Structure 1
């Protein structure tokens, strides 16, 4: 079968394109009349939406940040659910999730720039590893409320998901390997490298979560 007519490949391309829809950028542009790619961390994620829009309208900033998280998470969750109910094998579910996160982090619509992939990854993992993801969410919430540092909360939550997955599932269901999860986590950690450097230097800014 030709490469570009392979259903799996077509789905991966579709997942990448849908993942690349920059909801945070679009929402801030429409409702706050601000280009979040020019301010703050220049990320399209909810944290930067909150930080940038907050300077103009704190109440609107919170609403837009919440909607951004929901939409970004739905990108990942819905695409993986489509893959599952369409009868694709489990390995494809994971690859669809990874491609969606890649699309969010390196959006073709923003010249291959994007967000950090946390909310989209959460949506993917909520479908594939619901118990581990809920544990990660609890850790994210506690660390976020305690430190007020979004990147630290996100990375802590992701680490909790990884650790919990090895404890709950020594071998991930169906795929029998943690490689897909670790690859997805690597993308998110890689996008957080600047944040990690600032955390090490004690320069990472806090934000009201």
Structure 2
């Protein structure tokens, strides 16, 4: 089982980071880790977006300068495609994804690399992949329509668009509560991580991404 970790845990003492380290300690071999707080992912500026559209939609190979600008985004795609399981660890910022995590998703959701259009319908290519979202938030929010939690449904939608077979969510919410309550919630989150990792270890990966075209 090849596991790739994508983390954005910039705050000193991050509870999200503590939960992630609990998960990583159970993985052997150690996973490949992309730390978005250490190296921020590139954004779609004019050079990158024009080069991406020309290459991935028009089949036009980019000039050397444009290819170099796209290279960091393409490396994210290669890491994602090479994994069987993805752990995404991020706090909730203002009810949603931090900008760095959204930029990572923008980098890896590439036509004819992680998804395509077939017979007029979207088709995700990473059909053998599963993801675990580890997240924390100071508030505690209900799931479903009207919830302030915009992060969880967004992550499920984006991984699902790329064909992921499923996304498990461990949400350590309500970290602004009294310490004894937070400790109990973090213990529950660690137990849920244990359950997910154990289930992963018992499963055989079923499919790799389709080859790039």
Q: Which has the higher strand share?
A: 2
Q: Which has the higher helix share?
A: 1
Of structures 1 and 2, the larger Rg is shown by 2
Q: Does TM, scored on the shorter chain, surpass 0.5?
A: no
Instruction: State the TM-score, normalized to the length of structure 1.
Output: 0.29
**Higher relative CO (CA 8 A, sep ≥ 6), structure 1 or 2?**
2
